[in-house]
Structure 1
Amino acid sequence: MRNVLLCIGIALAMATDAMTTDVMTTDVMGDDDWVTVKPNEFEGAINNPLKGFRGYHSDGYGLLHRQYIGWNSIELSADDTVDRIIARTNEITRHGNKSFGELNIKLVPRVYLDWDGTLGTAKRPKQHWPADMAEFDYDSPEFQQRLKRLIAKLGEAWDNDPRIFAIQMGLIGYWGEHHTPAPTKSQRRLMVDAFKKAFKNKPILVRHTDAEFMDTGFGIYYDTFANVSREPPHGDKHQLPWQATHVYPDIWKHAPIEGEVEYNWQKERKDADPEGTFGRTPDETMTVPAYRRYMIDKIRRYHATYLGWISSYTSADATVLKGAGEVQKAFGYRFVIDSLNYPAKCFPGADLSLRMSVRNTGSAPFYLNWPVAVALLDPVTRKPVWSAPLDGIDVRKWLPGEDWDSEADAYRTTAKQHDARGRTALPVELTPGEYILAIGILDREGGMVPSVRFAIQNYIAGGWHPFGVIGVGATPRDTALKNVAFDSPAFDRTLTYQVPAELLAVQPPPVPKVTPMPRWQPDPKVELINPRRYWELVRRSDTIEKRVSEDGSLDGPDARKVLSVIGDYGRGSNLNYRFFNHGKLDPGHYWFSCRVKGTKGQTVRFDVADGWRGVMKGVNVPLSSEWREHGIEFDVKEAFENETRLRFSLPTDSSGEFHLTEPHLKRMDGK
């Protein structure tokens, strides 16, 4: 074995794009059969795809874009086609006059129906229900069928689209965040089955850690990432921080953990402790060392792949960008090659084998099945003469460390060194001679082009990492790279991916014939409760659930719909109704009626709330095993400050069943 010490002067592009010259060493050892290369690690951050800041920066870190998509922008009615989804995707995957493919940006879409419970304006509507669907009708069998059909269409449009990285489930509740209302257990099962069937190639992300989602291997989009009031041991045990720490510690191994950093919370809530956590703005997070360390600590602890809102940092500010680079290094995957072995010579038509040792020093795995490829580069032009994926290497298995130690700023279980072996066949027509052997990670769906960069200094623009000279047909004169100026892998704006022309050619289809569903209008003298609108279950127990069914023993047009709450009620669980557009009852005299049944001997308490504050003396409603009708009169004496809630509070520290049907409300004083 002969040892050759090769000193190579290379120019490193720092985060500020300034160029400095440094001299580094690379050990190249070989004999007549094999060459071993131990490259130096690239210490800076890398603007790699599928990780980091969820917001594109032309002069900084960020190659991801999250897009809210109103349901009625991709489906006008039940008869609409998948082409409308594809055409809308073509519209939103552009930045300025360039496509996402040209800029190497990936999309994370979220389809939703209701922004925040309000109507919005003609210019900016906040309700996105297709014209042939009843607004807020999450409970009907018709809605479940439409939900299932739309998910199938989304899979047809997006599962093989190279522009899409992952799918945020959305669809239910405000902002598609699975609250107001939360999906019922039957809806969660429906969506699990539908998304698993529709998406074979894309990670699916959900807002909450419901067992149905976690057992399936779905990832998380978390909307208050790193907020101190949500952190263990005092934070809500139903939220990601506790769940990921104590209940589902391995969810990050299957799909990404992502979300947003809620800076409004930092500014407006006393318990946020901005000075003790991560500040009040993204730029503060980047520039104050203690804030930056706090955020990196949470990224490492929860194995976060990428985050939004924090991505609104000022990339034009060199100080901010330097701090952003430290955060970028912590996000997601970061592959460091400790050594690579290749044969000094190979032959046309024969197999070419490589061995490599890799560590993932980042926080998360790489979640897509992208191949490692080998290339033979022209020694003069440094362009590929031939390249091919290597069989036998799965980058998804290169896991990072585990069990984060905040005091030591390190994982207690350090990143394992992964020894990978790959093989491919050389073409018979390959011209004998000397080439530069290089490797890269290819975008499988985006045209099999180089994309992911390893965190090593051996890099040339275009996505390839050169290691040494290889001979085709004969042993090379020297395997060492000499007088090769490496490029920085930090930012390579030459990297792009390809989108199939047939996708880009899709135009919006003709508008289908639609029979509009008229918006329900309240009449104080007749009915104020929309019979199709959901009642929301506020859960204070892990085992309580809401069910929706039909009861054929009841009479009347709306009597068949039954809302049921079953399980352990805990302390403070309630079933409540809110009026559309954050509606409020005017002062006056009202009559509420309903039919109820449930666990014999238990009572539920009905009251009216201004937001969460009760404004009337609660009325106990006894339950029995048979349906009984109840009527309650109440007065509203003062104008509401917040939205009105009609509320059934469930028995404290009890288990049982509560069933509600035919709720009605009208005003009785003639106004």
Structure 2
Amino acid sequence: MQIRHLLCPLLGALICAACGDGQRPATYSAKSDGQNVHVSMAEYEPALRNPLKGFREYFMIGTDTRRPEYPYPYGSLIKEYMPWNMLENVASDGVEKIVAYSNHRWEGVEEQNVKVIPRVFIVWLEPWHGGWAKDPDNPDDLNGWHWPSDLPGETGPYKQIPGSVGAYVESQDSLTVIQGGYFDPSFPDRVRKLVRKLGEAWDNDPRVAYVEMGIIGEWGEHHDPDLSTVFPPHDEPKHVAGRTWIPGMEKVLGDAFSEAFHNKKVMVRYAYEFKEYDFGIYWDSWAQPQEIDRGYHAMRARGDYWRTQPVGGEITWNWGDLGKYPGFEEVVADDTTRRIVIEQIRNLHCNHLGGITWADFNDPQFARNAAELQKAMGYRFVLSKASYPCRIDPGQAFQLEFEVQNTGSSPFYYDWPVEVALLDVQTREKVWGTVLDNVQISQWMPGDDWDMDLEAYRTPAETVRIESHPSLDASIPTGRYILALGILDPGCGRPTVRFANTNYYNGGYHPLGYVGVGIQEQQPALDPKDFDDLQGDTSLNYKH
């Protein structure tokens, strides 16, 4: 297998010249020169739903009802807040408790082709910030406090400001620390043991997309208390060790998650923390001017970490300058705000964003705005050219070449296999397939350095040329077939990731053209009228 990256790809005689001057072909075509088929492929222009990218859902389990149209037009990810005491209520609870609760919470996601981003948390909202207790009649209610029963809960000096969600401390308590909870002497060791179990439960679970670190602070967002003193605390002018921040906890968490997760990507809340670790970042205040330094600027300063680690978060409209908007639809309807979001998506190489759970996709204006954001987020793989022999023979290797470009904002963070397959001409069912060796889709990088005026990266995405020599099984009968490409979900071995191209069949395969097995193919072109619409295909899933 040879893989070459070219800004101006020149494939010589093997690739057709239908899209000269570096332009993508406007239509699909497949032509034979008597020896090889040369394919040109048109881009699918609309936004589309694809795994491990784009809009990310959230539901308060047991309270919010998933609507009948779920999954939404672009929802392939869902964040799951996982209360510590439901995963482990006492230190002796085993990993099977985590698995059982995960099965309960994530039931059915495989059938919807949805992946989960779990975040363990303890405190939803503290009393001094207006928090209220969990509903005793709803075991899945996320509100309240979820300390394990054998770990003392916290007691401290904070009081709620009357008529406000802000907190204060009496002058006589200016140095009073918090007792129990995060500051209990046994807490660091309990964290290590819990995270070890989380790794056993989730690191190889095909339902898990990425893991948000969480645990500390309200909603598990690493504030109240903080993990460092880089920025002032939320409720006081300066930090107090043992109250506003937890000395040493950053290393405890960093080491624990690094040791527990080798397969799933781990994400942390703030870019100015965990600099010694290889983690992604979830920024939960996109486009919020009040967090421009803690979020956007700090993430930009981290450099190229996004090449190997995901960037996500949410647009939170209920505070700061975005507090003027009643909902997500209004946030993205504002041209200036939407432009800022897109600039941040492109420059931070954002993979996914939440905030849309209660949005109305039946509103045509919102649908247009949502499509613009979805198209910018995450990866977007566009095929332009391919070539293969007019005839391939059983038991023999054949040469396959194709070009792909990532026009999105982020990589695809796992090396899911790319398959070349033969489809039955009548049924479109797979007759044969093999994974292309050494193809690393995680290396199909987007561009960099976004130009808002040109609406393009100043450093454009490279065009990746794949050259492979797969061997056809000796048992394949002589006849005419359709040669196709697909990206397989390792959880099921079926294609679930789609290229952004019009040559598509329901079920996940992108047909290139007709090919002869043991015979010469004279008319390789498929009829574009037979192609299916990518966004209309809701059949994809990774259920066994």
Cα distance, 1:423 vs structure 2: 4.2
Higher relative contact order (CA 8 A, sep 6+): 2
Moved more, 134-143 or 71-80: 134-143
Match of 1:659 in 2: none
Structure 2 SS opposite 1:382:
coil
Match of 1:225 in 2: 286
Q: How far apart, in 1, do the equivalents of 2:500 and 2:357 lie?
A: 22
Structural RMSD (CA)? 2.4
Alignment of 1:431-442 (within 5 A): 431-442=477-488
Structure 1 SS opposite 2:93:
coil
Asked if 1:372 is matched to 2:415, the reply is no
Per the alignment, do residues 273 and 415 of structure 1 end up closer, same or farther by CA in structure 2, a change over 3 Å counting? Answer: farther
Q: How far apart, in 2, do the equivalents of 1:474 and 1:189 lie?
A: 63
Match of 2:237 in 1: none
Cα distance, 1:122 vs structure 2: 4.5
Q: Which amino acid aligns with 1:417?
A: T
Q: What number of residue pairs does the alignment pair up?
A: 462
Match of 2:298 in 1: 243
Asked if 1:144 is matched to 2:188, the reply is yes
Match of 1:135 in 2: 153
* Cα contact 2:28–2:528 (8 A) shared by 1: no
Deviations 1:563-599 (A, max 9, x none): xxxxxxxxxxxxxxxxxxxxxxxxxxxxxxxxxxxxx
Match of 1:204 in 2: 266
Q: 1:428 aligns with which of 465, 474, 479?
A: 474
Per the alignment, do residues 353 and 391 of structure 1 end up closer, same or farther by CA in structure 2, a change over 3 Å counting? Answer: farther
Structure 2 SS opposite 1:110:
strand
Match of 2:21 in 1: none
Q: How far apart, in 2, do the equivalents of 1:393 and 1:116 lie?
A: 46
Match of 1:606 in 2: none
* Cα contact 2:29–2:525 (8 A) shared by 1: no
Cα distance, 1:289 vs structure 2: 4.2
Structure 2 SS opposite 1:496:
coil
Larger radius of gyration: 1
Q: How far apart, in 1, do the equivalents of 2:135 and 2:338 lie?
A: 41
Alignment of 1:166-315 (within 5 A): 166-183=210-227, 184=246, 186-211=248-273, 213-231=274-292, 236=293, 239-245=294-300, 247-265=301-319, 269=320, 271-272=321-322, 280-315=326-361
Q: Which amino acid aligns with 2:377?
A: F
Match of 1:54 in 2: 56
* Cα contact 1:286–1:321 (8 A) shared by 2: no
Q: Which amino acid aligns with 2:383?
A: I
Cα distance, 1:37 vs structure 2: 0.9
Q: TM-score, normalised by structure 1?
A: 0.65
Moved more, 280-289 or 218-227: 280-289
Alignment of 1:530-569 (within 5 A): none
* Cα contact 1:60–1:321 (8 A) shared by 2: no
Deviations 1:403-448 (A, max 9, x none): 112232221111111112344332222222111000011111x211
Cα distance, 1:228 vs structure 2: 2.5
Asked if 1:471 is matched to 2:471, the reply is no
Match of 2:438 in 1: 392
- Structure 2: gaps of 5 or more residues: 1-12, 19-24, 59-69, 155-180, 228-245
Q: How far apart, in 1, do the equivalents of 2:342 and 2:266 lie?
A: 24
Per the alignment, do residues 333 and 316 of structure 1 end up closer, same or farther by CA in structure 2, a change over 3 Å counting? Answer: same
Match of 1:41 in 2: 43
Q: 2:402 aligns with which of 343, 356, 381?
A: 356
Q: How far apart, in 2, do the equivalents of 1:457 and 1:325 lie?
A: 17
* Cα contact 1:115–1:127 (8 A) shared by 2: yes
Alignment of 1:21-170 (within 5 A): 25-55=27-57, 57-94=70-107, 99-118=108-127, 120-123=133-136, 124=141, 125-136=143-154, 137-170=181-214
Structure 2 SS opposite 1:336:
strand
Structure 2 SS opposite 1:229:
helix
Structure 2 SS opposite 1:153:
helix
Cα distance, 1:89 vs structure 2: 1.1
Q: How far apart, in 2, do the equivalents of 1:351 and 1:89 lie?
A: 44
Match of 1:456 in 2: 501
Q: How far apart, in 2, do the equivalents of 1:311 and 1:44 lie?
A: 21
Q: TM-score, normalised by structure 2?
A: 0.80
Q: How far apart, in 1, do the equivalents of 2:87 and 2:332 lie?
A: 37
Structure 2 SS opposite 1:102:
coil
Q: How far apart, in 2, do the equivalents of 1:460 and 1:293 lie?
A: 34
* Cα contact 1:2–1:30 (8 A) shared by 2: no
Match of 1:496 in 2: 541
* Cα contact 2:30–2:525 (8 A) shared by 1: yes
Deviations 1:614-666 (A, max 9, x none): xxxxxxxxxxxxxxxxxxxxxxxxxxxxxxxxxxxxxxxxxxxxxxxxxxxxx
Q: How far apart, in 1, do the equivalents of 2:216 and 2:399 lie?
A: 50
Per the alignment, do residues 33 and 139 of structure 1 end up closer, same or farther by CA in structure 2, a change over 3 Å counting? Answer: farther
Q: How far apart, in 1, do the equivalents of 2:284 and 2:84 lie?
A: 21
Q: How far apart, in 2, do the equivalents of 1:411 and 1:24 lie?
A: 22
Cα distance, 1:313 vs structure 2: 2.1
- Structure 1: gaps of 5 or more residues: 7-22, 500-671
